[in-house]
Amino acid sequence: MPYEVRLKKQAQKDLIRLRQAGLSEKALALAKIMEEDPHRPPHEKLGGNLKGYYSRRINVQHRIAYEVDEESRKVWILRMWTHYEW
């Protein structure tokens, strides 16, 4: 059973920036992978104040940060822009 991928408000804004940067296709391909299995490598478990969240690299600078709700089978994308702004 697939997961439902949802965008938080900031991720919706980030998607606009990714489109302008020509990176939206890569981000959407990663979201498709997360629909199938959000735990499929390669992904990183985040620590510190983002413990419990995961990330996937869009490119060297940008990555997708997300959380997985196993009970509802939803993946919530928090951010899709540079991880240096978190």
Per-residue pLDDT of the chain (86 residues; tens, 9 = 90+): 999 999 999 999 999 999 999 999 999 999 999 999 999 999 999 998 889 999 999 999 999 999 999 999 999 999 999 765 55
Q: CA 64, CA 49: separation in Å to the nearest integer? A: 16
Task: Please report the domains of the chain, with CATH numbers, ordered by start residue.
Answer: 4-85 (3.30.2310.20)
3-state secondary structure the chain: CCCEEEECHHHHHHHHHHHHHCCHHHHHHHHHHHHHCCCCCCCEECCHHHCCCEEEECCCCEEEEEEEECCCCEEEEEECCEHHHC
pLDDT, position 82: 79
